[in-house]
Amino acid sequence: MSQTHFGFSTVDESEKATKVRGVFDSVASKYDLMNDLMSAGLHRAWKAYTVQVANLKPGERVLDIAGGTGDLSRAFARKVGESGVVVHTDINEAMLRQGRDRLLDEGLILPTSLADAEKLPFKSESFDLVSVAFGLRNMTHKDLALAEMCRVLKPGGRLLVLEFSRIAEPLRKPYDWYSFNILPKLGSLFAGDAESYKYLAESIRMHPDQATLKAMMKTAGFGHVDVHNLSAGIVALHAGIKC
């Protein structure tokens, strides 16, 4: 049995998805509050930047993978308008329900689908844009997921991967201190779950850095990949074109 990482622990590949599901089942109801608290609201700016780079036109077809509580799906839906389509997907039912309920409360009815990024239930060449925000890090076979994202894109289609990345060196120590001391405490206080936020801090350190992810996207079939560092590399937006 092949092994992989779950945060800093080594686990059988077959166990990782179940463990990740446990994390998101546990945090789903407090997910939006925790995002605002942990990032001091910065995740909103990172997502707003992603929507700008997406540069969507009315009528385009978008797939939001690991869409969770639906921040990107909602913003994309406003850009593509009634003639376009945004499919809001996630592997986790609790997260997808939170997102769907939030979108409905805001008057948006989007197609919603329980979908594993590693085995997407969509036809080849059927989307203009695919997004995955803070989701790739949690996937067991990132190479398979990226290849699937490429498969469902039309030729010339764009993939946007918004994810935690490698922070600039002078900021590493304070960022590590914050991640390993404050995040689990915030998780314990506001979500009753320190372990999931310890996993968050560890999984960020195990995720491929900017250059490695760019190379992985090229291998998956994206002929051109731009990397945008945000907040000194706390997060990076990788924008790939299928060509």
Ligand X SMILES: C[S@@+](CC[C@H](N)C(=O)[O-])C[C@H]1O[C@@H](n2cnc3c(N)ncnc32)[C@H](O)[C@@H]1O
- With CB under 6 A, what is the number of residues at the site for ligand X? 20
Binding ligand X (rule: CB under 6 A), the pick from 85, 110, 117, 152 is 117
Binding ligand X (rule: CB under 6 A), the pick from 34, 51, 68, 127 is 68
Binding ligand X (rule: CB under 6 A), the pick from 6, 54, 71, 167 is 71
Please identify, using beta-carbon distances, which residue of 58 and 186 lies nearer to ligand X. 186
- Amino acid letter for position 157: G
**Is 90 assigned a ligand-binding role in the annotation?**
yes
Alpha-carbon distance of 87 to 110, in angstroms, equals: 6
| 225 near ligand X (CB under 6 A) | no
Contact 241, 156 (CB under 8 A): yes
Helix segments in the chain, DSSP class H: 13-27, 31-39, 42-54, 71-80, 93-105, 142-152, 172-177, 183-191, 194-206, 210-220
- Amino acid letter for position 93: E
**Is 117 assigned a ligand-binding role in the annotation?**
yes
Contact 165, 233 (CB under 8 A): yes
State the DSSP string of 130-198: EEEES-GGG-S-HHHHHHHHHHHEEEEEEEEEEEE-PPPGGGHHHHHHIIIIIHHHHHHHHHS-HHHHH
Contact 126, 150 (CB under 8 A): no
Alpha-carbon distance of 6 to 33, in angstroms, equals: 24
Please identify, using beta-carbon distances, which residue of 56 and 66 lies nearer to ligand X. 66
Alpha-carbon distance of 35 to 212, in angstroms, equals: 26
Give the CB-nearest residue to ligand X: 68
| 216 near ligand X (CB under 6 A) | no
**Is 193 assigned a ligand-binding role in the annotation?**
no
Binding ligand X (rule: CB under 6 A), the pick from 65, 85, 213, 239 is 65
| 184 near ligand X (CB under 6 A) | no
Binding ligand X (rule: CB under 6 A), the pick from 15, 26, 102, 118 is 118
| 63 near ligand X (CB under 6 A) | no
Within residues 125-164, the interface with ligand X by CB under 6 A covers: 133-135, 138-139
Residues 75-114, one symbol each (x = binds ligand X by CB under 6 A, - = not), give ---------------xxx--x-------------------
List binding-site positions: 69, 90, 116-117
The residues of the shown chain that bind ligand X, judged by CB under 6 A, are: 20, 24, 65-69, 71, 90-92, 95, 116-118, 133-135, 138-139
